[in-house]
Structure formats: C-alpha cells, structure tokens
Amino acid sequence: MDTLLLARLQFATTTSIHFLFVVVTLGLVTLLVGMQTAWVLTGNPAWERLTRYWGQLYVINYVLGIATGIVMEFQFGLNWSGLSRYVGNVFGAPLAIETLVAFFLESTFLGMWIFGWHRLRKGVHLALLWGVALTAYASAFWIMVANSWLQHPVGYEVRDGIAHLTDFGALLTNPSLGMAFGHVVSAALLVGGMLMAAVSAWHLIRRTPDHALFRTSLRIGLVTAALAITLVQGFGFAQFGPVAEVQPTKFGQGPEAQALITEWTARFGPGDYTPPVLASVGLGFMILIGFTLGCVWLLLPLLFRDWIIRLRFPLWLVLLALPLPFVAVILGWIAREVGRQPWVAYGLLPTDQAVSPVGAPVMLASLIGFSLLLGTLAVTNWVLLARHAARGAGDPPLGRPPAPPNEPAHPEPALA
C-alpha cells in the first residue's frame, strides 16, 4: 500500500462529498434571500410558505455539512503535515479568515434566523438571512483564495525552507482566482436552481395540493438554472487563458510546458511532471454536461400558459436531470485539482513532500474511517432532504407559529 496514494484518495473522497454540501448551501441560500425579500415587500403569505419550505431543506443540508467541513480541517494536520509546515504561513491566512470571519458569522446569523421566526421584526429577520448569504459568499471567496494560491503561488518568499507571506494583496489579485470564483458561484446557483425545479416538478407530477406554490418554485428554479448555466459556461471558458498561462502543463505539452518541465527536472530531480489523464477526462465530461444542461433554455418558453405542466413530459426531464449538475461540479473539481499534480503548491511543493510521515496501515484506517463518516452524513442528508421535501409546503416545520396558550401544538403534516 502506498501512503501517498491513500492520502490522496482520502482527500479526494472527503473533499468531493463536502463540496456537494457546499454547492447546495450556496445555491439555496441565494434563492431563499429572493423569496423572503419578496415576502417582506409584498406581504404575500405564499412567499412566506415557500421561504419556510425551502429554508428547512437548506438548514438540514447546512447542519450536516458542518461536520464534513470539520473533517476537512483535520486532514491538513493529520495527513498533510508537510503542507502545513512548508506553506502554512501563507496558505493558512485565508483559511483562518474564512473560519473566524465567514464561518462563525454565518453560523451565528443562521441560528438567529432559525429561532427568530415570530420573535423578530420582519425587516430584522430578513437582514439576518442576507447576512447568512453574504457570509456564505465570503466563505466561498476565502476558500477559493487559498485554493488559488496552491494553483499559482504568489506574494511569498522562502526563508529557512519555509514560505512566508510578503504581499497579502497578491493573494486577492491572483490570476487563477477571479474567473474560478465566478465559476464556482454560478455552478452553485445552477445546483440550487435545478434542485428547486426538480423537487417542484416531482410535486407537480404527483398533483399535490400545493400546486400554486410549486408552480412558482418551478419557474424560479428553471429561470435560475438557465441564467446560471450561461454564467457557468462563460466563466468556465474564460479560465482557459489565465490557467494556461500560470499552469502550462495542465492543458498540453507545448514549448512553455516543456521548458517548465526541464526547469523542474533540474531543480527537483527526474520525474513525471505531467498531470494524470483523469484531469482531461474530467474536464471533457464536465463540458459535455454543461452543454447538455444548456438545453434548460428550451424549457423556458413552455412556462407560457403552463405548457410545461400540461405536457408533463418536460417535468420528467427536469426530474431526471437533477444528478447532472452534481456530477459536473465533481468533475470540475477533478479537472482543477488533479490537473495540478504532481504538485500540492504548483511548482513549489511536490505532493510526495507534503504528505505526513505515517505508515500505510494508519493512513488506510484513516481513509476508511473518514470515508464511512462522510458517506454516512451524505446519505443521511439526502434521506432527510427527500423526507422533508415530500411533506409538501402546506405547513413546513420551520417558522411554524407558536401554538396559543393551553392549546396543543399544530400537528406535523402527513407525508405526501
């Protein structure tokens, strides 16, 4: 057993699972902000019910996703001590900001939003949700700052064998950051839109009593997905130029790549400095899925006079297409991360020098343990999401008005 391979498999497995939680969280919270804002501005109770219904799905995903994020933090110290020791002074700065500023603030705002129903004024309660959304975007931004530094190290100098941060502004202007952040955010919106559209389509297929509500959320989801896939494609193709400039080996073996490989061979010794073919495969299938999901634009004309509901067949297409954006985000992560190999920090720290000096049996036990833990959390998350999604939007548990004194609490709505 190869310790390095086991460590990479563990990081790939746990990061992939965590990323699925992240995109659902980021996509749904954006749609929640729009729905609750509409409720506050119009006073229409339908918007309140939609906010409560989709809000409870968001909360389930967020709470279980926290545990997967904690596992990610542990891995840097347990499995990648070489990374922490060599570049921790630079790489750790945006991670610390993400944890202290974005993550804790986001959790605080969310807790106040959950327990603030019917206790806070509508404007204050809405402001809390806006705070959740803004800090969620801030969290994603700082994570991408850290990741972009690994893709293209900037603003540092090496002293006594350790990288030290010298220019914090260089982290924020990293050429591998801007378009990648836009690509991730738009992918999250695509996931959120498709999830909302698919769940709504399922209820409309079954002709549940909440027809009007799910008709509205179907429209919101499809329009969001259509706009998001356009942004995904735009930001995605816009990355090719900057990425090819800072990572010449990722997309081919041109003269610049060959010159860089020659330099690395002289500096680090002979080795295979070309990324695995898996990166190109992931990129190709991600682009294919992206073009496939672009067909969501063809469904928008069917919203006229509810033809999409009357025909019913388009609703099945939306429902069956739900896994595609999730597969695409994982393939995109593979293309970005595997395409950086064999480096943890591109051109600076080889992967085999970043792994912790532990035995293969210990690393295997860690791989099995963390994979089972995160796999259990992922399955639990989807079971709970499916159960609460099936309840319908008649009277969601989140934000339910308190029962009057001396009267029993409102019973849970039966499963649809």
- pLDDT (tens digit, 9 = 90+) per residue, 121-132? 999 999 999 999
Q: How far apart, in whole angstroms, are the C-alpha atoms of residue 95 and residue 103?
A: 10
Q: What is the pLDDT of residue 60?
A: 94
Per DSSP, 102 falls in state: I
Better-predicted residue by pLDDT, 34 or 1: 34
Nearest to 278 by CA among 330, 240, 320, 326: 330
CB environment 19-38: b (16+ within 10 A), e (fewer): bbbbbbbbbbbbbbbebbeb
CA distances from 266 to 104, 154, 233, 261 (A): 45, 22, 38, 9
Q: If you average pLDDT over every residue of the chain, what do you get?
A: 90
Candidates 321, 328, 236, 338; CA nearest to 277 is 338
Please tell me the predicted confidence (pLDDT) of residue 71. Answer: 75
Q: Is there a domain that residue 401 lies in?
A: no
Q: What are phi and psi of 373, to 5 degrees?
A: -65, -50
- Please tell me the least confidently modeled range out of 22-31, 53-62, 246-255, 376-385: 246-255
β-pair partners for 162: 159
> Which domain, by its residues, includes 344?
3-157+170-390
Contact residues for 76 (Cβ-Cβ < 8 A; gap 6+): 83, 84
Number of domains the chain is built from: 1
Say yes or no to pLDDT of 291 above 70.
yes
Predicted model pTM: 0.92
The answer on pLDDT for 393 being more than 60 is yes
For the segment 319-378, what is each residue's pLDDT rounded down to a tens digit?
A: 999 999 999 999 999 999 998 989 999 999 999 999 988 888 989 998 899 889 999 999
Instruction: Specify whether the CB–CB gap between 194 and 325 falls below 8 A.
Output: yes
For residues 189 and 25, the answer to whether their CB atoms sit within 8 Å is: no
Question: Under DSSP, is residue 269 helix (H, G, I), strand (E, B) or coil?
Answer: coil
Categorize the per-residue pLDDT at 416 as very low, low, confident or very high, splitting at 50, 70 and 90. Answer: very low
Amino acid at 238: A
Average pLDDT value for residue range 22-44: 96
Rounded CA separation 26/191 (Å): 9
pLDDT band at 410 (very low <50, low <70, confident <90, very high): low
d(CA 387, CA 383): 6
Once rounded to an integer, what is the mean pLDDT over residues 185-203? 96
Note the residue count of the chain: 416
- Please indicate, yes or no, if residue 395 is contained in any of the structural domains: no
Cβ–Cβ under 8 Å, residues 21 and 65: yes
**Is the pLDDT at 386 greater than 80, yes or no?**
yes
**Helical residues (DSSP H) of 269-312, grouped into ranges:** 277-293, 307-311
Domain membership flag for residue 251: yes
Residue 192: pLDDT over 90? yes
Reduced to 3 states (helix: H, G, I; strand: E, B; else coil), residue 207 is coil
**In-domain check, residue 404:** no
Domain assignment of residue 212, yes or no: yes
**Residue 416 within a domain:** no
Distance (Å, rounded) from C-alpha 341 to C-alpha 274?
A: 7
Segment 155-164 mean pLDDT: 90
For 349, phi then psi, to 5°, come to -135, 110
Q: Which of 30-34, 395-399, 405-409 has the lowest mean pLDDT?
A: 405-409
What is the Cα–Cα distance from 224 to 217, expressed in whole angstroms?
Answer: 10
Inform me whether the pLDDT recorded for 69 exceeds 50: yes
Least reliable range by pLDDT among 41-50, 299-308, 399-408: 399-408
pLDDT surpasses 50 at 414:
no
Break the chain down into helix, strand, coil percent, rounded to 5.
75, 5, 20
Q: Which residues, 6+ apart, have CB-to-CB distance to 205 below 8 Å?
A: 312, 315, 316, 319
Residue 401's pLDDT is 81
* pLDDT at residue 288, rounded to an integer: 96
Q: Is residue 338 part of a domain?
A: yes
Contacts 24+ apart (CB under 8 A), 63-66: 64/21, 64/377, 64/380, 64/381, 64/384, 65/18, 65/21, 65/22, 65/24, 65/25, 65/381, 66/107
Task: Evaluate if residue 133 carries a pLDDT over 90.
Answer: yes
**Quick check: is 407 in a domain?**
no
Q: 140 pLDDT exceeds 60?
A: yes
Beta-sheet strands, E only, within 278-352: 343-345, 349-350
Q: Measured between alpha carbons, how far is 177 from 183 in angstroms, rounded to an integer?
A: 10
* The pLDDT of residue 408: 55
Other C-beta atoms lying within 10 Å of the C-beta of residue 86 = 21
pLDDT of residue 256: 87
pLDDT, tens digit, 9 for 90 and up, residues 141-154? 999 999 999 999 99
Rounded to whole angstroms, the Cα distance separating 12 from 164 reads: 27
More confident of the two residues 100 and 12: 12
CA angle 136, 142, 148 (to 5 degrees): 135
- Please state, as a whole number, how many other Cβ atoms lie within 10 Å of the Cβ of residue 67: 16
